[in-house]
Structure 1
Amino acid sequence: MFFDKMREGAQGTTSKIILGAIILSFALAGVGSYVTRPAKQVAAVVNGDEIPAQTLENAYRNERARLESQLGEQFSQLLADPAYVAQIRRSVLEQLVEQRLIDQKIAELGLRASDDQVRNAIRALPEFQVDGQFDNDRYLQLLGRNNLSPEQLRDSIRQDLNRQMLLNAVVGSAFSLQSEAGLLDRLTHQQRSASLVRLPLAQFEAGAEVSDEEALAWYEAHSQQFQRPEQVKLNYVLLDANTVSADDIDEQAIADYYAANQASYTQPEQRRVAHIMVSKGEGAEQKIAAIAERLAAGEDFADLAKTESDDTFTGDNGGELDWMEAGTLDPAFDAAAFGLTEAGEVSGVVESEFGLHLIKLLEVRPAQTKPLDEVRDAIAERLAADQAGDDFYNREQRLAELAFEFPDSLDMAADELGLTVHSTDFVSADALPAALNDARVATQAFSLELREQRMNSDLIELGDNRAAVIRVLDYRPAAVRDFDEVKAEAQQLALKDKAAELAQQAADELEQVWAQGDIEAWLSERELSVTELAEVTRESAQDPALLNALFAMAAPAEDEPSLQTVSLMGGDLAVLRLNAVNTPEATSEQLALVRQGQGRVQGQRDYQSLITALKAAAEIEYRQIENEDDNFF
């Protein structure tokens, strides 16, 4: 009955109009998908040159990988801060903008690395070397694996060399005057003598007292120092992979795995070939045909490779390539090389993306399979790891199911899987138990959803076959701790402040007494003494703050001593009286090094000034780009 009414309604005028509108909307949507194309995303425009968003994204990922390898687990915590991520993106984009400005300046100046420079730079790359020597086979293999043509690599290397030429031109043209370097050298070797009175903070702390009222006043004036971060109280379970020994793996399982994966233990057929290559272009076909005729007439393949091949890397060695396996080189080249049947046989003309080739088969190594005895231990370890991983995966899935099915407790999951429910007291995000010290756990533990609903979290994968489920039992927001809780700490801090004030008053008084003359009575009354610092240099083993202050003080005048109070490491104060300054009249043997160093520093400043000037004169437009993980700008 219901379906009969639907069929009758579908025949009505109103239904037909609605159906027609729906069909029209789908039709227009389909046309729109062909007519409308997504606009090209651009990260920035520099003097009319666009920096694609994808270029920024690739550079950003590379920078993230570099920082992750450098900072380790700390980097994962930093990534939780959107401001830090945005800062990385801005920095990467600024580097891309600077590179584009430099490239534009290079083009304006007409700087260009020669072909020989590019070739030598490629040959010097360690990635293409075997035993310290350039290996053409490795070169071609790596290009193929990275989807790069020789032309693309050549252009990239040339661009880097061009940038290096400009950098060297700017930095290399900087210099330091002999007089400037001489002055710096003599100042570097300057010696200073002084008298020092140390005012130990502990001595003033012993003589100071802080009342409860003073401690409370200090607490109220510095309440931000007693801020307690937000905290949670947790229950949690941890799941680790069970350890499976390779000795427990069944011999039949090892044999079955070996039989099923024999290709993994087979060294495929390898071939060593030589080739003569002619680069594509006008007259290439005629040239390669002429070479083929000369081969047919009996000329030596190696001699022709040396004189006629455009692949100069292999030409010097008779065109020989290293041992190769099927599928590692250009498909056309690969098919021709493995289509030859006998050593000494030469192929017809083969066209690859690199050029036109004649290929000669030199030697063949048949495929070989390693015996089971040789690979048995490796297979057992592999199967043990796989079994442990499978067990962990199954238990992990079950843990996720149980945590979801019984959301208000972890007991059921713990009982079934043989786990322990752990509990914490109130902890902040940076004080989680070591087993939970992971940014992903902190994010869940302090999420609004978990702390309000008090339900089990989703399964949190911690890596290395480890996982956890947590449940927030209680939450305590950030707040200033009560005075009664921190009274002792506040009194101690207030005492240190009062002692520092007393020490500063004593230092001011000492400076006045010392400026007027003898200080023996003043020192005796306070049980202090003078320490003489003779012929101190900038490299002397002294407190860094003391050295900085000593060499910043003005030389003493006859009627006006040079005095200064210095805060030392550890909180003590010291009053310095500069007695003598001895600057060498002659320069040292390090003058040349000093001058070189000054030149390098000046060169770096000049290069940075060039970039600043290029930015100031350029028209740079930054576009706003949204990333799937975070917002940029």
Structure 2
Amino acid sequence: MLESIRERSQGGLAAGILGVVILSFVFAGVGSYFNSEVDQTAAKVNGEEINLSTVEQAYQSERARMEAQFGQAFAELASSDEYIAQMRQGVLDRLVGEILLNQKVDNLGLRASDEQVRNTIREMQEFQIGGQFNNDRYIAIIRQAGFQPNSFRDYLRKEITRQQLTNALLASAFSLDDETKDILALQQQTRNARYLTVDAKPFSNDVNIQEDELRAFYEENLSNYDTQEQIDVAYVELKSSDLIDGIEVSEEQIEEYYQNNINNYQTNEERRASHILFEFGDDEDASAEKAEEVLAKVVAGEDFAELAKQYSEDTVSAELGGDLDWFGRDVMDPAFEEAVFALENVGDTTEVVSSEFGLHIIKLTDLKAKEVVPLADVREEITNNLKQDGASEEFYNLQEQMANIAFEQPDELIDVAATANTEVKNTGLFMRGNGPQPFDSVIVLNQVFNDTLIEDAVNSEAIEVSDEHIIFARVKQHEPERTKSFDEVKDEITASLSEKKAQELAKSWTNELRNSVAQGDSIDALLEEKAITWENKEAVGRFAYDMPAEVRTELFKLSTKDDDKLSVIELSDGNVALVELLGVNEAESFEDAQLTSTGQSLASQQAQTLVLGIVDALKDNSEVVTY
């Protein structure tokens, strides 16, 4: 039993869970999922709530990932309120899908055993030092993420069971050999081509736009000229992290802190043990009888390691004489752990111990007692702790003073800022979906897009951005949503229609070129007149970067038939292109590695589609309410 569990935990399951857990750690303080205070509800899935703070944490994590991966390209996308709204909805949809899968797991009765959870924890590199699990590191990391050992195990158990369901679905996906070869052939096909680009700007001289055209376009596209509500906010920011450098710590404080918290500077006790396992099987009485017989041999002084090799049903540890390596508390089965840590001396053995996995005879083979870490080794850590404590105390003192002044002087923030020796900052106008930091949080936005603050132009109460990070805000300017007038956008419409009509004229002229080329007529004189030249390309791949993406996409839509090897397309920059397919180069053969990789990719795509389809089906049969 333990052998099969270990095999599973050492395979794809543990790797998959690792990704899930580490991703979740990025959700600053994911442990708060288990013990959060009263929070606004963003959605309910069959009665199970998703808090707004959970959605916000997930959104901020996704945004940080996108910024790191795509840089300026993401910044341009994020300037669109519509894109940000879609991104937030996508995050919420993912959280809803996870809950639906968790609920399905519960309905199916799937469960991860304690041993699976423990093995997954022990195999996570994040919890290892020198390739070995380190309990101190484990405890430190999960606490930093907001967990206690029990809550982390519960969280991980849920992730493992959900992964079991998705892994079962993924295992059902496959690709046929012919399908793989066809896809690979298309991917590796190259094409010979030539194309030319026609600048549309010269054609704008022939464009004439009437006033009634402009007004008609305005009326037909009124929604394009709607503006969203905007505010300009003055604010004062206070963070405990900004106060740390001003906190002085004495040697006496360091010594006192060390003595008062000496338990925190002791290494955790670790033990090494060996065991002999007897699985319950179909006849628990027989297993118990056998365990007692072997225990008698142990008591009689027979070699424990040899007995483990002969009798233990945990075949992995049996080969090692029953050795389970080093472990601390909160790792093993509770009954097993209690028995091991009750042994006083190396070489002592237990009576028969019953656990979730069967019956054990356990021998203590080594131990590492608690050791006190010298003050010199933790002086810097203690200093930082004291500075942080001092900064926190100063933070709350200043917060109270600033709140009083903000209330007593509701129409200005200068004295509020002076209290904290800081300055009043201004955001400039921004919309609800695209606020600058720290106004990029839904929770903060809901506080400042507030009728009272907007209508009365008074100071807000302290708005909590995060732990020990607050702002006091006052709305300086408010622009309600409205539709811009025709006069405001007349020049914009004129420019847009002029570009569009110029492109249409350029496209019409380019179509004449296409017809001439199709008929075999020379167009050299026409091209020379406009200083246009053909760009010739050989063996262009489907993902090549040496030609415009729009041209490359169109090239791979063409065929070698006479009527379908020329195409005129509009380019996103307002110009026009003529594309001609000159030849198709088919891939002659494929390496085995390519076939394998492509087959796996196809299967993965099918599996992802399957999982998404199942989530959609679960949604259709569930009560999902968003707020």
TM-score (norm 1): 0.69
The separation in 1 between residues aligned to 2:165 and 2:239, in whole angstroms, is: 53
1:340-373 Cα shifts (integer Å, max 9, x gaps): 4443333333444544333333334443212222
Superposed CA offset, 1:194-219 (max 9, x none) = 4x442112322356466777656655
Asked if structure 1 preserves the Cα contact closer than 8 Å seen for 2:58 and 2:91, the reply is no
Q: Which residue is 1:555 aligned to?
A: 560
Is 2:453 the counterpart of 1:450? yes
Q: Aligned pairs, how many? A: 550
Match of 2:178 in 1: 176
Cα separation, 2, equivalents of 1:156 and 1:244: 38
**Cα pair distance change 1:470/1:505, threshold 3 Å:** same
Deviation at 1:431, TM superposition (A): 5.8
Residue 378 of structure 1 aligns with an amino acid whose one-letter code is E
Q: Which residue of 1 aligns with 2:471?
A: 468
Which residue is 2:289 aligned to?
286
CA gap 1:304/1:132 in 2 versus in 1, 3 angstroms: farther
What does residue 379 of structure 2 align with? Answer: 376
Q: Distance in 1 between matches of 2:190 and 2:66?
A: 43
**1:233 aligns to what?**
232
- Pick one of 505, 508, 524 that aligns with 1:505: 508
Does the C-alpha gap of structure 1 residues 505 and 348 become closer, same or farther in structure 2, counting only changes over 3 Å?
A: closer
Deviations 1:512-559 (A, max 9, x none): 4445553448616842444153544334522222223233234344xx
SS of aligned partner of 1:457: coil
The amino acid that maps onto 1:230 is E
Within the candidate set 80, 87, 91, 2:93 is matched to 87
Residue among 328, 344, 349 paired with 1:346? 349
Larger radius of gyration: 1
Alignment CA distance shift 1:510-1:378 (3 Å): same
Matched, 1:127 2:128: no
Q: Pick from 574, 578, 581: which aligns with 2:577?
A: 574
Determine helix, strand or coil for the equivalent of 2:274: strand
Question: Quick one: which of 400, 403, 414 aligns to 1:397?
Answer: 400
Aligned to 2:548: 543
How far the C-alpha of 1:393 sits from its partner, in A, is 1.9
Is the alpha carbon distance of 1:600 and 1:176 closer, same or farther for their aligned partners in structure 2, counting shifts above 3 Å?
Answer: farther
1:262 deviation in Å? 0.8
| C-alpha separation in 2, matches of 1:313 and 1:228 | 67
Structure 1 residue 380: Cα displacement: 0.9
Name the CA shift for 1:96/1:533 in 2 (closer, same or farther; >3 Å).
farther
Please say which of residues 229-238 and 123-132 is displaced more in the overlay: 123-132
Q: Which runs of 5+ in 2 are unaligned?
A: 1-43, 68-77, 143-147
> What SS does the aligned partner of 2:313 have?
coil
Shift of 1:391: 0.8
| Unaligned residue ranges in structure 1 (runs of 5+) | 1-42, 45-51, 108-114
Aligned equivalents of 1:521, 1:581: Cα separation in 2 = 22
Against the structure 1 CA distance between its residues 489 and 374, is the aligned structure 2 distance closer, same or farther, given a 3 Å change threshold?
Answer: same
Query: What per-residue deviation string (whole Å, max 9, x for no partner) do you get for residues 27-79 of structure 1?
Result: xxxxxxxxxxxxxxxx99xxxxxxx866x979x99998766533339899968
**2:192 counterpart SS class:** strand
Separation in 2, partners of 1:526, 1:63: 59
Matches within 5 A, 1:136-535: 145-146=149-150, 164=167, 167-168=170-171, 170-171=173-174, 174-176=176-178, 181=181, 185=185, 188-189=188-189, 191-194=191-194, 196-205=195-204, 208=207, 218-241=217-240, 242-245=242-245, 248-280=248-280, 281-325=284-328, 329-330=332-333, 332-423=335-426, 426-429=429-432, 432=435, 434=437, 436-463=439-466, 465-516=468-519, 518-520=521-523, 523=526, 526-531=529-534, 533=536, 535=538
Structure 1 Cα separation of the partners of residues 430 and 59 of structure 2: 29
Pick the aligned partner of 2:64 from 58, 63, 72. 72
- Please state how far the C-alpha of 1:595 moved relative to its aligned partner: 5.6
User: What is the CA–CA distance in structure 2 between the aligned matches of 1:148 and 1:438, rounded to whole Å?
Assistant: 27
Contact kept? 1:185, 1:591, Cα under 8 Å: no
- TM-fit CA distance, 1:468: 0.9
**Deviation digits for residues 1-47 of structure 1 (CA, Å, limit 9, x no counterpart):** xxxxxxxxxxxxxxxxxxxxxxxxxxxxxxxxxxxxxxxxxx99xxx
When normalised by structure 2's length, the TM-score is 0.70
In the TM superposition, what whole-angstrom CA distance separates every residue of 1:457-502 from its partner, at most 9, and x where no partner exists?
A: 2311223643111122442211233444444433332321231122
In structure 1, the partner of 2:568 is 565
Equivalent residues of 2:571, 2:577 under 8 A apart: yes
| C-alpha displacement of 1:250 | 0.8
SS at match of 2:466: coil
Instruction: Say if 2:513 and 2:523, in contact at 8 Å, map to a contact too.
Output: no
Please give the per-residue CA displacement for 1:430-470, whole angstroms capped at 9, x wherever unaligned.
Answer: 56455544433332222233223433223112236431111
Q: Determine helix, strand or coil for the equivalent of 2:363.
A: strand
- Aligned AA (2:392): G
Alpha-carbon displacement from aligned partner over 1:247-300 (angstroms, at most 9, x marks no partner):
831111111101101111123544433333334422233222212221233311
Indicate if the aligned counterparts of 1:343 and 1:362 stay in contact, CA closer than 8 A: yes
CA distance in 1, matches of 2:524, 2:333: 92
